[in-house]
Structure 1
């Protein structure tokens, strides 16, 4: 999808009229109409304001990824879900992360029977030196982490500001490895 199509789709999903969106970002309704018709593009400053007001990343707005693309695919070794921002509490409850990007990956080492096989990583751009990441949750299989990713993508799409992990396993750190506290279903 093009920028014009994405902008119109996202605006309608957020239940905003062209006038309401124009007022939020400080432009005329005609400017919004022009952008949605593909007759022009906003200045960089206005793109940043659009991203913030619609709670979406620029990639999400510009590249045509609407979140629905994820639902029909199994995860590959690494997936990045383009997002706005969402707050997620880590698996151990010790961290709350305002994520602008969430990645799913197989663990870096060969998992043993008593270890998770996948992990979910939250990325925040608030660190002084750039991005920082944190392990949000650990998962026994591809299906569970895919379900988590789908639910997070859906929460972002709906503009829900926070998300609590539903499929993460209970784990403990033991001798530089992560071990399951209890077996998964």
Structure 2
């Protein structure tokens, strides 16, 4: 398989019509049709946009197979390019956030022994007035939140698109304070 077959296959796997892909890329449907027929190729800028929007590497898009430098093994064609974004469900399960940035911080008040000391905040660019932040999770100590941040970073670098919090504690709201829920 080459570029034309790869593009068509990826587009169909993602249930995207030629017209929808053309709109995403900013070209005509006829241009996408010609690319899939192999009668023309997109400009480099369009290839980069295709790679990003379809979440595949340029190698996967352009080549029929990928060779590893180690032992010259053929790798799987399911190569994913990190987008710098990840989807995370909030601690209460009420929000799912497509984050492009994740921040950790001490809570704003002095935490008591039955309260979390840190919170993890997800940031996305969806709001009309700029960034939108949401609390993703609450943490009892710095070690747990650092571990969570490291794993989220690793997931983003590997191209994982969904991450489930592992080290956050269950909490409940009580008298305008957040308390650790020991269920």
TM-score class normalised by the smaller sequence = 0.5 to 0.7
Structure 1 runs, 4 residues or longer, greater than 3 Å off: 48-55
Distance 1:175 1:51 in 2: 49
> For 1:120-157, what per-residue CA distance to the aligned partner results, in whole angstroms no more than 9, with x for missing partners?
00001111111000000000000000000000000000
Task: Structure 1 unaligned segments of length 5 or more: list them.
Answer: 1-23, 28-44, 56-82
Q: Normalising by the residue count of structure 2, what TM-score does the alignment of the two structures yield?
A: 0.57
Helix, strand or coil at the partner of 2:153: helix
> For 1:12-60, what per-residue CA distance to the aligned partner results, in whole angstroms no more than 9, with x for missing partners?
xxxxxxxxxxxx9831xxxxxxxxxxxxxxxxx78x94994597xxxxx
Distance 1:120 1:51 in 2: 30
Residues 1:125 and 2:142 are matched in the alignment = no
Task: Structure 2 unaligned segments of length 5 or more: list them.
Answer: 1-40, 56-82
Helix, strand or coil at the partner of 2:156: helix
Q: 1:51 to 1:125 in 2, by over 3 A?
A: farther
Q: How many residues align?
A: 115
Residues 1:171 and 2:171 are matched in the alignment = yes
Q: 1:182 to 1:51 in 2, by over 3 A?
A: farther
Q: Normalising by the residue count of structure 1, what TM-score does the alignment of the two structures yield?
A: 0.56
